[in-house]
Structure 1
């Protein structure tokens, strides 16, 4: 690819001398006595035309043959046009420019598409004004079957749309966004096309699609676009990514297998398979191995092309892209479907979907922000990346991410970390490893205010003022309102990791809103918690007592990562379990409604274990008088016992004890310590 770029640059440098040249045909007049060179050039031309004129055209297969013929005769207008057209349909579209400039210089009126194709190449090189001029010089071209000259349809509406894209690009480039765009490095990228990155919410794991050969005898794609797609995986090792490894079977098959989406916890992978027109499948991580991908249901996969998908953070919904005509608005559209429901998928509507194509949908773990690519809205050309925010149940107007993230070429496969500080996508830009590469975008936030100099007369008798430099404060980067809770679930006695189910509960609604699982081998888990909810977290496994945690996240809570290792305890006499989702108002012993889900878990445990006896214990911090604290803690323990007896648990299986502030589990010198000491717990006294 680098050689092709160098060759195009050298060609561009020779155009000035050929400005008044004429097109040279592949005849004896050009080659003279070198008959073998003419035969070889004609063989390459025929091979190129066979691929170029096929239905559909195989541009990638035609291009190397045309380039070989062009080495023999660089001054044939039709050949340069075909090479330019092939590049316009490749992953390196910008390389089309010198060939199309040369073709137009050689034969200004030979091809009715000449100005339009040159305009496209200028457009893709962000030469906005020159592209507009060429578009305005273009004329509509009739369609029909592709002929030897590569005929195609160009409508007046298409020309008008392209001009508007250039004007969008001019405006967006005037106001570039503050970002770093860094290549992910040779550990991820190869000399082949690498794209479609998906990352776990904490950025610990990345999977992506690559066209690199999977082995020494790897088959090539017969369409001429390199090797078949395979999925690769890498993990973050502190300062860089580890060398990526092919997932292999059963995820990768003999055909095309591509990354589509990854659940925030990194345990479920959405895969694209080139079957039935293009379908979506799901693979689950079992320990350290990905399972065989299973086809998603008929409410998602249809007879049409389903190409992209993303989970909602709670795993309840799937957002996906389909070009099915039923219910569509034109081109591929974004839909939403309830995974466990029975209703049909719903189109997201005209705020998101346009008469053009939408692609590569991604939902952030905050549940409020969606990224996607679109050919519509105010795209500067091809697919641009857009962001929309959910407000009061409605998606807001999409916002173009701007220059230099978006370019005149297709910009797709954009995903972010849970924090929103980093984004990942694929791009083809100078300095890469070859072809498309995976890049990381770091959002820098607004520019800092300039540093000021203040002169202060500290003492009236000073002869000269003291110059004091006031440094501008750091600029806060806007991050997502989400908390990442992660850690390892283990057996409390053996310290060995165990698999468990993790229920995420909305305490206010007393509803389980999502269920996750810790990894079967490592015991690791990750849960994303969008701000604005009082969450109960319940970890369960057969043979163990449940473990609960509480996270009450206000609406304005910004991004945070909390590491919480969870030791599960078996049902044994003397074991103590803290009930973190039992709530009382300050100074009172009346159970709040948010306690219901936790109380029901405790009631169910006692119902399933009819011989178990418990002591309910109340504890306080050391604020207030000891006698009052003991009384309050006793009444709170009795309130829990009362709930259980009122819901069918025999009173002789329960006891209540109020310990006040006599058994602290943390120092009472901090707010966090006092909160830990204010707790309700139970102790197993009989089984």
Structure 2
């Protein structure tokens, strides 16, 4: 019987605990009856914070970030108000810290399950964003079951899509892709948001958008109380990103300016301006001095009275992919393509009518953030359709025989249950650059580099190593993969430095021209960087190119580059060494070609010969010797005659073009003046050449 008082005491404690818990879950209003008199002033301040927060919350557009700051202060005073917890949770869903919403939405639902009609839906969304996927599916189903027949007709399809996204997410999370993620550091990232990164082909220049105090004009946008957006540039130096620079006018203005695309050679930038015509895309030309020309609105083939938000050049600069919500699409925002041509030396862009990329890529939902890879056939984009795991996910599709393949989700953790937009990829596809919020970052959204590691290779255990030395596997026809024909032209990146041939000092602002030798026409012109003398250009593979550099007080310099057809992106380094105009200077004419074993000039030589003619006209006192050279194949007599005949063919061409014969001599040296070994094919090819020497100036 002595146990009875103890049992009663324990039961009493449990009852009191339950009562306290129940009381602690009461929806507590912000009124004087709910708080003691000594909290009168604190209550008054909390109510003011809620009123001020409500003005921001109900503004058009809502200022959720600013409202959240005030709501959280009021919540510190009274954490048990259902409506306030609901509003805090909803605010978090509209910020970069979306995952914090669940705590407050759960509290709101506990305090008052009917506080707002969409409380269950928002809570399901919070679970979804936190990748609590089973709970999200359960809560989406709960919300669906709470709807009236009319509401179900209106909202049922959207809820079913959200449930499907959760199932996709479960599968992707269970099979994550292998990646490293690195913050780009203090040179790029600050306490302010950074987003929309675009990297050049060799990953040395990064352009991105940020609203910072250093914005051009220094003003704040009254609609969101953030600084106006500007475009910033950071350069990779000694494996560290330099402090980002604001290039200011004319690229940036006192209004919003956002980078949405950069050509592979870094010479054209695509800019989005939201205040213009409902949102339009502009193109800006970057000269080699790093100076920007005034942005120009893209023509009516791209920009319409609707919203154009994202664009990407094809690497050969023969096309533009862009996003528009014009009504003739498949629904929402679609991706379109327009062919373009570069006209004249000033690189005027001429666009053709745009075409929708079709239902393989575009869905009834939004597509955005388009990015064409440097290979010219792999298209990356973000979509709210396809098999997204929530919001926008990044997908890729490949152009094969003129048709786009089914888009593939890049997987988790590249994609999340939130919006994943505006990725740019490196030339080799190993790195991706994107913007995200991380509590360990520098502030708001930061820019990160993803290193894609590829699938993990299984360990292979071998017991008999000796057998591998002689074992040969015979591959039958049924074991071979079907051959894939790639018709699309691959891109080759050519980069180099223009330098003085003697001092090796870089020569800046030197005009460089590139010719298609077969067509005899110029396909690109630009200047070397004013400080470093460097240049970079992207060219279609499978062609014979002539490179020419011409600087004041220097003889023109030419290079021949025959780029073979390719199925992957190639890269060549082609430095150009220029010789000053002085007696004795020798220049190899690398774009002069003869028929085999003959002195007949081939048509591909015309551009080089015309450049030589122009140089002689520009320097009318110059006298030169044209000389021919061979390798060591054949007899001395034969080689001397062939080389002499070839040199004379060049002189005859120049005389025919009006050059005084008294300024020209020709000579054939055969194999007597080699510049490389005759023991290799490459060496013999270098020795077979035509050159000129300055005799007097």
Look up the match of 1:322: 324
In 2 relative to 1, CA 398–609 (structure 1 residues): closer, same or farther, beyond 3 Å?
farther
Q: 1:434 aligns with which of 438, 443, 448?
A: 443
| Residues 98-148 of structure 1 deviation map (CA, whole Å, 9 limit, x = unaligned) | 2222222222233221222122112212222222222222239999xxxxx
CA contact (8 A) 1:20 1:106 kept: no
Say whether 1:31 aligns with 2:35.
Answer: yes
CA contact (8 A) 2:28 2:80 kept: yes
**Separation of aligned partners in 2, 1:488 and 1:91:** 43
Look up the match of 1:205: 205
Q: CA RMSD in A?
A: 3.8
Alpha-carbon shift at residue 439 of structure 1 (Å): 0.8
Say whether 1:484 aligns with 2:493.
Answer: yes
Unmatched runs of 5 consecutive residues or more in structure 2: 1-19, 341-347, 468-488
Look up the match of 1:552: 562
Say whether 1:379 aligns with 2:388.
Answer: yes
In 2 relative to 1, CA 640–437 (structure 1 residues): closer, same or farther, beyond 3 Å?
same
Superposed counterparts of 1:59-138, under 5 Å: 59-138=64-143
Look up the match of 1:660: 670
Q: In terms of mean alpha carbon deviation, does 571-580 or 204-213 score higher? A: 571-580
Look up the match of 2:335: 333
**Separation of aligned partners in 2, 1:394 and 1:517:** 37
Q: In terms of mean alpha carbon deviation, does 216-225 or 131-140 score higher? A: 216-225
In 2 relative to 1, CA 228–322 (structure 1 residues): closer, same or farther, beyond 3 Å?
same
Give the match's secondary structure for 2:281: strand
In 2 relative to 1, CA 387–232 (structure 1 residues): closer, same or farther, beyond 3 Å?
same
In 2 relative to 1, CA 215–601 (structure 1 residues): closer, same or farther, beyond 3 Å?
closer
In 2 relative to 1, CA 136–626 (structure 1 residues): closer, same or farther, beyond 3 Å?
farther
CA contact (8 A) 1:141 1:155 kept: no
**Separation of aligned partners in 1, 2:388 and 2:458:** 31
**Separation of aligned partners in 2, 1:585 and 1:392:** 36
| Residues matched between the structures, number | 644
**Separation of aligned partners in 1, 2:263 and 2:518:** 25
CA contact (8 A) 2:334 2:356 kept: no
Look up the match of 1:464: none
| Residues 239-267 of structure 1 deviation map (CA, whole Å, 9 limit, x = unaligned) | 32223334344444333222222333334
Superposed counterparts of 1:330-369, under 5 Å: 330-331=332-333, 333-336=335-338, 338=340, 340-341=349-350, 343-369=352-378
Look up the match of 1:182: 182
Look up the match of 1:13: none
**Separation of aligned partners in 1, 2:522 and 2:405:** 28
CA contact (8 A) 2:331 2:364 kept: yes
| Residues 401-430 of structure 1 deviation map (CA, whole Å, 9 limit, x = unaligned) | 222211111112211222332221112235
Unmatched runs of 5 consecutive residues or more in structure 1: 1-15, 144-150, 459-479
**Separation of aligned partners in 2, 1:405 and 1:436:** 16
In 2 relative to 1, CA 633–20 (structure 1 residues): closer, same or farther, beyond 3 Å?
farther
Look up the match of 1:51: 56
**Separation of aligned partners in 1, 2:23 and 2:597:** 90
| Residues 256-290 of structure 1 deviation map (CA, whole Å, 9 limit, x = unaligned) | 22222233333443333343233333444456553
Look up the match of 2:275: 275
Give the match's secondary structure for 1:103: helix
In 2 relative to 1, CA 498–217 (structure 1 residues): closer, same or farther, beyond 3 Å?
closer
CA contact (8 A) 1:142 1:153 kept: no
**Separation of aligned partners in 2, 1:399 and 1:591:** 52
CA contact (8 A) 1:380 1:407 kept: yes
In 2 relative to 1, CA 590–448 (structure 1 residues): closer, same or farther, beyond 3 Å?
farther
Give the match's secondary structure for 1:155: helix
Q: In terms of mean alpha carbon deviation, does 35-44 or 434-443 score higher? A: 35-44
CA contact (8 A) 2:262 2:270 kept: yes
Q: 2:315 aligns with which of 313, 328, 333?
A: 313
Look up the match of 1:296: 297
**Separation of aligned partners in 2, 1:19 and 1:503:** 81
**Separation of aligned partners in 1, 2:559 and 2:333:** 46
CA contact (8 A) 1:18 1:105 kept: no
CA contact (8 A) 1:279 1:295 kept: no
Q: 1:620 aligns with which of 623, 630, 655?
A: 630
Say whether 1:41 aligns with 2:41.
Answer: no
Look up the match of 1:231: 231
**Separation of aligned partners in 1, 2:611 and 2:81:** 79
CA contact (8 A) 2:641 2:670 kept: yes
Say whether 1:580 aligns with 2:581.
Answer: no
Question: Which of the pair has more CA radius of gyration?
Answer: 2
CA contact (8 A) 2:376 2:490 kept: no
Give the match's secondary structure for 1:333: strand
Look up the match of 1:9: none
- TM-score by structure 1 length? 0.82
CA contact (8 A) 2:625 2:694 kept: yes
**Separation of aligned partners in 2, 1:519 and 1:302:** 36
- TM-score by structure 2 length? 0.81
In 2 relative to 1, CA 98–568 (structure 1 residues): closer, same or farther, beyond 3 Å?
same
CA contact (8 A) 2:216 2:254 kept: no
Look up the match of 1:421: 430
**Separation of aligned partners in 1, 2:696 and 2:403:** 53
**Separation of aligned partners in 2, 1:216 and 1:621:** 62
**Separation of aligned partners in 1, 2:154 and 2:166:** 17
**Separation of aligned partners in 2, 1:557 and 1:617:** 39
Alpha-carbon shift at residue 505 of structure 1 (Å): 3.5
CA contact (8 A) 1:83 1:96 kept: yes
CA contact (8 A) 2:511 2:549 kept: yes
**Separation of aligned partners in 2, 1:116 and 1:193:** 29
**Separation of aligned partners in 2, 1:492 and 1:584:** 27
**Separation of aligned partners in 1, 2:24 and 2:401:** 63
In 2 relative to 1, CA 289–549 (structure 1 residues): closer, same or farther, beyond 3 Å?
closer
Alpha-carbon shift at residue 438 of structure 1 (Å): 0.7
CA contact (8 A) 2:396 2:407 kept: yes
